[in-house]
Amino acid sequence: MKTDLAYETDEQRWAAVQARDAAADGHFVYAVRTTGVYCPPSAGSRLPKRENVEFFDSAQAAEAAGYRCSRHPSKDQSSAAAERAALVARACRLIEASDTPPSLEELAAQVGKSPFHFHRLFKAETGLTPKAYSSAARARRLRKELSSPNTSITDAIYDSGFNSNSRFYEASGQLLGMRARDYRAGGAGAVIRFAVGQCSLGAILVAQSQRGICAILLGEDPEQLLRDLQDQFPKAELIGCDAKFEQLIARVVGFVENPSIGLHLPLDVQGTAFQQRVWRALCEIPSGATASYTEIADRIGSPKAVRAVAQACASNHLAVAIPCHRVVRRDGDLAGYRWGVERKRELLRREAQD
């Protein structure tokens, strides 16, 4: 049985039932004492009174307790969900097969929906807007073309749907995270300067690319932090830096020790379109405040993408600068943190005192 941070407590589960949250299906079922049946959270049947409801981790557990399955609402809901998924999958294939990105109106017409309805449906199912998905598809195609030694960079640009070199070079930094020639060389053209120091939370590594701070890593073992940096940039040239660069790490350490001073440094934020949406939402959480994974999913307009939000937080390489430590469980308890729950607790304590 799958588990999810958003559905651990009865309060969270009841909220999912009230919202008929299809994302909760498979995580638990709810049973109604007065009718003797159990349903998935998204069931379209009339909501029972809260005092008549109990929750089970699985359908098998509900049946073992004497409840029977309420099949009709489940069947209707599953059929509707399958239809939505098939429609969005069709739109994704249309985007991927198009030489140039199709417009919202063109996509909506192809699947028989209004542009407004289609946009909402696509975003709810994928966590991305059609435009963002199109950009990601173009980036995948570009990376594939550039990986072929028999394709020139110019051919790769046009085969990926760009109708001019200038349009491509305007977007190449976001699509590839580096120049096309550096990407073709496996990232070998990228130069990452780094330094390792100590702070009250343990070892800290700060790395900087040509575009800005690209990694702030925390841990116990400085050598492990360096290995993590190598895994993040396997083809880049890593340069351990001098005393001048250590002034930069001193500024980051000062920010970790006293978050109220802020970190006014350029950042090189590399991630998928969805990850960047999540990270922007995290940066909007005020110092001293917290938000749940569910709240972040709601804020970015993808209420069903709670698990994807948690994965985006776990993929953050910029500790403290992108404040994933401010995301907690819906009941206020601390959830997992890439650099350890105790560090998360301490960061939140410091911010609460400011």
Catalytic residue status for 214? no
Torsion of CA 73, 310, 119, 46, to 10 degrees: 20
Sheet hosting strand 202-208, strand order edge to edge: 213-219, 202-208, 191-199, 237-240
The length of the chain in residues reads: 354
Q: Using CB atoms within 10 A of its CB, is residue 31 exposed (0-12), middle (13-18) or buried (19+)?
A: buried
Catalytic residue status for 313? no
CA distance linking residue 74 with residue 236, whole number of Å:
51
Query: Are 241 and 197 a contacting pair, CB within 8 Å?
Result: no
How many helices (H) and strands (E) the chain has is answered by 15, 10
User: Dihedrals φ, ψ of 335, to 5°?
Assistant: -100, -175
Catalytic residue of the set 39, 214, 241, 313: 39
SS3 assignment, position 139: helix
For residue 120, the Cα-to-chain-centroid distance in whole angstroms is 19
Catalytic residue of the set 92, 241, 313, 324: 324
Give catalytic residue positions.
Answer: 39, 324
